[in-house]
Amino acid sequence: MNVMKFGGTSVGSAQRIKNVASLVSSRGRNIVVLSAMSGTTNQLLKITDSLKSGDISEASTLIGQLREKYSKEISELIDDPAYRDEALSKIGGIIDSVATKLDKKIEAIDEKEIVACGELMSTNMMDCYMRSIGMNVAFLQALDFMAVDDQGEPDLDYIEAHIAPLIAINPDADVYLTQGFICRNADGEIDNLQRGGSDYSASLIGAAVDADEIEIWTDIDGMHNNDPRFVEGTKPVSKLHFEEAAELAYFGAKILHPTCVLPAKNKNIPVRLLNTMTPEAPGTLIYNTEADYKIKAIAAKDDITAIKIKSGRMLLAYGFLRKVFEIFETHRTPIDMITTSEVGVSVTIDNDRNLDAIVEDLSAYGAVTIDRDMVIVCVVGDLEWKNRGFEAEVVNALKEIPIRMISYGGSNYNISVLIRKEDKQKALNLLSLHLFN
């Protein structure tokens, strides 16, 4: 059994919901996880914002818009009047539950309940539609099995123990349908797995039921080997190691969040990125691949600030790096990249909110220089250091570009270089040209 997760745009209209249903029915008995229709979660958050600021009339206007949108979509989606009425009444009821919040002072729990409605609505629509076309749907309520502990961390044992019986009592279902994103917290209240959390739901469910594969359906044909906004002719990467996917996600590629795939990685369940528009395309398969010693993809992260601390009397004394790092810790600023020499250390940060205070503290240990508007370009692949040549290929491709920092050896999966923003497009193109042609 596979888990198939569809994001907001994949269920963004009546027509697209129909496409998903037909795709799902052609693939056998699987667990289908849905996000809210695109735009809905944001709309629900706008409602909570207006309620918090006491703007009741704005909140009811927004609720009215939701009602209108959903009744239009449902009428377009479902032909059979009995199922259509059922969907209208169920979604109407969910929107009514949001409207009841208009009369009360809104608390954190109300916000969570409101924002959960997106996934409740999309899955109820899908359930009614699928049944209207004759599918046997086992509708599993995420709130009955998806749970986080008192630290907000998913409780995999609980999830496993609670989803299994829901599946077992429906052995003949054509499909198991459930909500992404939403869960219960340690107090049993409605909660969620944070924005974009449906991927996390899919990965957790896959791990809980020991799925054969976790499919993440979007409308791009997998993870590309470079940024298509800057480079022409990029191609989907067919296979990525979980570690490579994590590096790419961290360095700005539009891909699954690294923590989201952790449950899948831990259980060694492959994650496949697929495209609803071209379902037959192979997409990108992410798993614990065998070593293949290949460069796979390039990603870039913008708005990076480089900080250099040079010389000073602390130099060569042990404890220097600790003191430097402590300053970043004190100012709650994560460091992305580091290079060191005997006479100084350069680091990069992407959050410069506390830069002034950091520079002031660092100045006690040496001369500090700052370079702003930098970009980290990250080359990802199976780059085990004992294989010669990867770093040479990267540096050679970039020989016309001034490089501020180079970092290799932090992991076996990435070589990062720091360059100026104005060189980014050229650098990405040169890398594609030299590494993939």
Polymer length of the chain? 437
Q: Which contacts (CB < 8 Å, 24+ apart) does range 259-266 have?
A: 259/200, 260/196, 260/197, 260/199, 260/200, 260/203, 261/199, 261/203, 261/286, 262/203, 263/154, 263/156, 263/200, 263/203, 263/204, 263/206, 263/207, 264/203, 264/206, 264/207, 264/214, 266/207
**Counting contacts by CB under 6 A, is residue 181 touching ligand ASP?**
yes
**Least gap, CB of 9 to Mg ion (angstroms):** 8
Task: Show the binding pattern over residues 112-131: x = contacts ligand ASP (CB under 6 A), - = does not.
Answer: ------x-------------
Q: Which is closer to ligand ASP, CB of 117 or CB of 128? A: 117
Task: Show the binding pattern over residues 302-341: x = contacts ligand ASP (CB under 6 A), - = does not.
Answer: ----------------------------------------
**Least gap, CB of 35 to ligand ASP (angstroms):** 3
Cβ neighbours of 283 (radius 10 Å): 23
369 strand-pairing partners: 308
Task: Show the binding pattern over residues 358-387: x = contacts Mg ion (CB under 5 A), - = does not.
Answer: ------------------------------
**Counting contacts by CB under 5 A, is residue 8 touching Mg ion?**
yes
Q: Give the largest CA-CA distance in the chain.
A: 81
Options 2, 30, 35, 346; binder of Mg ion; rule CB under 5 A = 35
Please state the φ and ψ torsions of residue 366, each to the nearest 5 degrees: 160, -175
**Least gap, CB of 183 to ligand ASP (angstroms):** 11
Options 198, 275, 412, 416; binder of ligand ASP; rule CB under 6 A = 198
Q: Which does 197 bind (CB under 5 to 8 A by kind): Mg ion, ligand ASP, none?
A: ligand ASP
E strand or H helix that includes residue 340? strand 338-341
Options 195, 322, 353, 372; binder of ligand ASP; rule CB under 6 A = 195
Size of the site for ligand ASP (CB under 6 A): 12
The label of the residue with tokens 């480079």 reads: 231
Question: Is 109 in a helix, a strand, or coil?
Answer: helix
Are the C-beta atoms of 371 and 417 separated by less than 8 Å? no
List interacting residues with ligand ASP (CB under 6 A). 7-8, 35-36, 41, 118, 180-181, 195-198
